[in-house]
């Protein structure tokens, strides 16, 4: 009988308490027959939403396609705080997540890709500037600037990155207008790829009049993400 993919609710211990939390919540997805194959892990940080159907669906499908996944909340989201966590906290959370998936040396991933959606994407960029060694970084709706504020560009951490990066952005994203992003990426030294999702906003939501479906958007993101990982690893 074949071993099916399994999903487990986990607590990711923090190095020190944040907002009174000693751990953050996550969902670990273990593919069938892990740790055989390429042993690729995807660390995925949520944005401001505790429940995110798009992110949940992407993580589930990645697990079904043989990726080890760990999808988790940032401390300020779990504690229901409006103020976003500091870069130091963001880095520590990703380090804690990486430690959790690597706790068993016999089943540890050979490649770890770091990413997230919206605020989670920002956290992943901070994590890559720390001690976490990532095979690649993926950003779903990277918040390059505040809505309506094109002057305050959050790009310094992108200039410091050395790992390959994938940006998946909606063409209606008012927190990351495409001309500004493209101008920023032209000055980034690390390898990067940009995929634009047609008719999608910052959260990859579609207009009511759109003929596209949310399921179609999820499949598009998943296909792009999976293909990019394969290219980065030379598979």
Over the stretch 123-153, which tens digit does the pLDDT of each residue have? Answer: 999 998 878 889 999 999 999 998 877 778 9
Give the count of alpha carbons within 13 A of 133, CB side only: 4
CB 180 within 8 A of CB 149: no
- For 130, residues 6+ apart whose C-beta sits below 8 A from its C-beta are 91, 94, 95
- Quick: pLDDT tens for 55-97: 999 999 999 999 999 999 999 999 999 999 999 999 999 999 9
Tell me the CATH class for 6-232: alpha beta
Total-model pTM: 0.95
Average pLDDT value for residue range 181-208: 96
> What would the mean pLDDT of 105-121 be, rounded to a whole number?
97
- Out of 1-5, 207-211, 217-221, pick the least confident: 1-5
Question: Element (H or E) spanning 30, and its range?
Answer: strand 21-30
Supply the pLDDT for residue 3.
Answer: 57
Q: What is the pLDDT of residues 4-46, one digit of tens each?
A: 899 999 999 999 999 999 999 999 999 999 999 999 999 999 9
Cα 67 from Cα 77, distance rounded (Å): 25
> How is the chain split into domains, by residue range?
6-232
Say if residues 54 and 120 touch (Cβ distance below 8 Å).
Answer: no
């Amino acid at each position: 009988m074949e071993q099916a993919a399994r999903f487990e609710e986990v607590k990711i211990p923090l190095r020190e308490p944040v907002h009174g939390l000693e751990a953050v919540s996550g969902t670990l997805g273990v593919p069938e027959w892990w740790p055989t194959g390429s042993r690729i892990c995807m660390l995925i940080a949520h944005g401001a939403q505790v429940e995110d159907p798009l992110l949940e669906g992407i993580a589930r499908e990645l697990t079904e396609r043989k990726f080890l996944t760990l999808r988790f909340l940032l401390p300020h989201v779990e504690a229901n705080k409006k103020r976003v966590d500091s870069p130091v906290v963001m880095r520590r959370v990703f380090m804690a997540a990486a430690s959790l998936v690597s706790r068993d040396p016999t089943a540890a991933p050979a490649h770890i890709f770091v990413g997230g959606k919206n605020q989670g994407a920002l956290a992943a960029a901070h994590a890559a500037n720390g001690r976490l060694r990532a095979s690649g970084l993926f950003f779903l709706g990277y918040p390059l600037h505040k809505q309506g504020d094109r002057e305050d560009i959050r790009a310094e951490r992108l200039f410091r990155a050395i790992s390959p990066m994938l940006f998946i952005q909606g063409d209606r994203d008012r927190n990351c207008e495409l001309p500004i992003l493209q101008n920023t990426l032209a000055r980034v030294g690390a390898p990067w790829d940009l995929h634009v999702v047609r008719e999608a906003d910052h959260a990859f939501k579609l207009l009511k009049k759109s003929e596209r479906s949310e399921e179609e958007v999820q499949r598009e993101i998943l296909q792009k993400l999976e293909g990019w990982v394969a290219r980065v690893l030379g598979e």
